[in-house]
């Protein structure tokens, strides 16, 4: 469906990460389908998730006690002002299936380096074998040297190269690899600010009015999901954004103190989830540099852990 852009450069299957205006037009088309208070502690931010109970990783057919690839602990510290994030999210009320941590970071308001939320990006366990196949195929099609047959090594070099890694993210999303974002505010905020932050993240980098117009339907759905929610979102609570098998983006809110889970709704337009996840994974003006670096390291660890037949 999105193959035309992936082959813009005949020499390499994985195009440059520094996206031109022309490439931005294609990246948006790729992700389409055919068919409040005055509290001074409240800040504007993208979104927010938080923590969930630790669990062990188990891909179908693998050893159920195998450790997750991203880290050999059950939790990982993202910021000292919020609870640790789990390395594995099990199937639960707020997630439809298990996910493993790829990377984590902190989103900041860049002009003042003001931290707003911690974020973790997770990949669906069922989609890890597919991810490895895609990354290895990159290496086969794009050897660093003519006789280089080390698929894992070449794939790791590709994802570590800012001129290539954005297209890796494109192709993972294009081939149906599903991600989950878990956000947790480091300060008190509210639902309206969370919604506005998500919309700004999705639209960031799109200066063409025609391109923004293509996102409007999905953004209206996103606004609709948040329309029934008002009031504050305390620091350390969680917003979970999950890419669903049907292409939708499921949104859940978790109150950390009470344990209450609110299934806020689903954005059915697949362009929204794909665009948002690409922005989080992108190396082109990344929303969080710490997240970008961590995801690069996490994908490299995934290749080491699974790419050579490990389980």
Task: Write the DSSP assignment of 168-232 as a string of letters.
Answer: HHHHHHHTT--EEEEEEESS-EEHHHHHHHHHHHHHTT---HHHHHHHHHHHHHHHHHHHT--SE
User: In this predicted model, what pLDDT tens digit does every residue of 152-184 receive, in sequence order?
Assistant: 666 667 677 776 778 888 889 999 999 999 999
- According to the model, what pLDDT value does residue 189 have? 93
pLDDT category, 93, cuts 50, 70, 90? Answer: confident
Q: Which pLDDT value is given to residue 306? A: 82
Read off the pLDDT band of 149 (50, 70, 90): low
Check residues 263 and 24 and name the one with the higher pLDDT. 263
If you average pLDDT over residues 97-117, what whole number do you get? 85
More confident position, 146 or 184: 184
- pTM for this predicted structure: 0.76
Lowest mean pLDDT among 74-78, 202-206, 248-252: 202-206
The CATH number that applies at residue 148 is 3.50.70.10
The answer to whether position 58 is within a domain reads no
Note down the domain range covering 283. Answer: 75-308
> In this structure, is residue 95 part of a structural domain?
yes
User: Residue 303's closest CA among 154, 143, 101, 87?
Assistant: 154
Q: Mapping DSSP to helix (H, G, I), strand (E, B) and coil, where does residue 235 land?
A: coil
**pLDDT band per the 50, 70, 90 thresholds, residue 116:** confident
8 A C-beta contact, residue 272 and residue 249: yes
Q: Which residues pair with 86 in a beta bridge?
A: 75
Chain-centre distance of CA 172, in angstroms?
11
**How many Å separate Cα 206 from the centre of its chain?**
19
Of 117 and 243, the one with more pLDDT = 243
Q: Is 219 a domain residue?
A: yes
Number of domains in the chain: 1
3-state secondary structure of 279: helix
In terms of average pLDDT, the best of 63-72, 209-218, 287-296 is: 287-296
Cα dihedral 165→221→216→43 (10° resolution):
-70
Q: Which tokens belong to 49?
A: 């998730």
Residue 182 belongs to some domain of the structure: yes
Please report the DSSP string for 239-254 in residue order. EEEEE-TTS-EEEEEE
Classify residue 106: in a domain, yes or no: yes
| Mean pLDDT (the chain, rounded) | 75
pLDDT-derived band of residue 123, with 50, 70 and 90 as boundaries?
Answer: very high
Does residue 27 belong to any structural domain of this protein?
A: no
Residue 8 lies inside a defined structural domain of this protein: no
For the chain, how big is the Rg over CA atoms in Å? 19
Q: Is residue 94 part of a domain?
A: yes
- Give the residue with greater pLDDT, 310 vs 50: 310
């Amino acid at each position: 469906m999105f193959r035309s852009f992936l082959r813009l450069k005949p020499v390499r299957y994985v195009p440059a990460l520094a996206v031109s205006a022309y490439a931005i037009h294609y990246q948006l088309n790729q992700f389409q389908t055919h068919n409040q208070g005055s509290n001074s502690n409240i800040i504007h931010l993208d979104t927010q998730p938080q923590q969930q109970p630790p669990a062990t990783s188990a891909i179908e057919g693998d050893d159920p006690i195998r450790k997750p690839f991203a880290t050999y602990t059950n939790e990982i510290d993202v910021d000292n002002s919020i609870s640790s994030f789990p390395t594995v999210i099990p199937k639960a009320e707020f997630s439809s299936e298990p996910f493993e941590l790829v990377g984590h970071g902190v989103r900041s308001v860049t002009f003042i380096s003001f931290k707003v939320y911690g974020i973790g990006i997770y990949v669906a366990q069922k989609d890890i074998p597919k991810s490895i196949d895609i990354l290895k195929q990159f290496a086969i099609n794009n050897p660093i040297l003519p006789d280089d047959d080390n698929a894992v090594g070449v794939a790791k070099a590709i994802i570590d190269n800012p001129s290539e890694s954005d297209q890796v993210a494109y192709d993972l999303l294009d081939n149906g690899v599903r991600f989950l974002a878990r956000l947790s505010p480091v300060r008190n905020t509210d639902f309206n600010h969370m919604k506005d932050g998500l919309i700004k993240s999705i639209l960031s980098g799109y200066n063409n009015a025609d391109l923004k117009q293509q996102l409007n339907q999905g953004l209206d759905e996103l606004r609709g999901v948040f329309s029934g929610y008002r009031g504050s979102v305390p620091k350390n609570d969680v917003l979970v954004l999950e890419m669903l098998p049907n292409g939708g983006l499921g949104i859940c809110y978790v109150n950390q103190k009470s344990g209450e889970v609110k299934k806020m709704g689903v954005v059915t337009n697949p362009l929204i989830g794909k665009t948002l996840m690409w922005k989080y994974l992108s190396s082109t003006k990344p929303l969080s540099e710490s997240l970008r670096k961590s995801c690069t390291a996490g994908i490299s660890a995934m290749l080491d852990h699974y790419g050579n037949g490990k389980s």
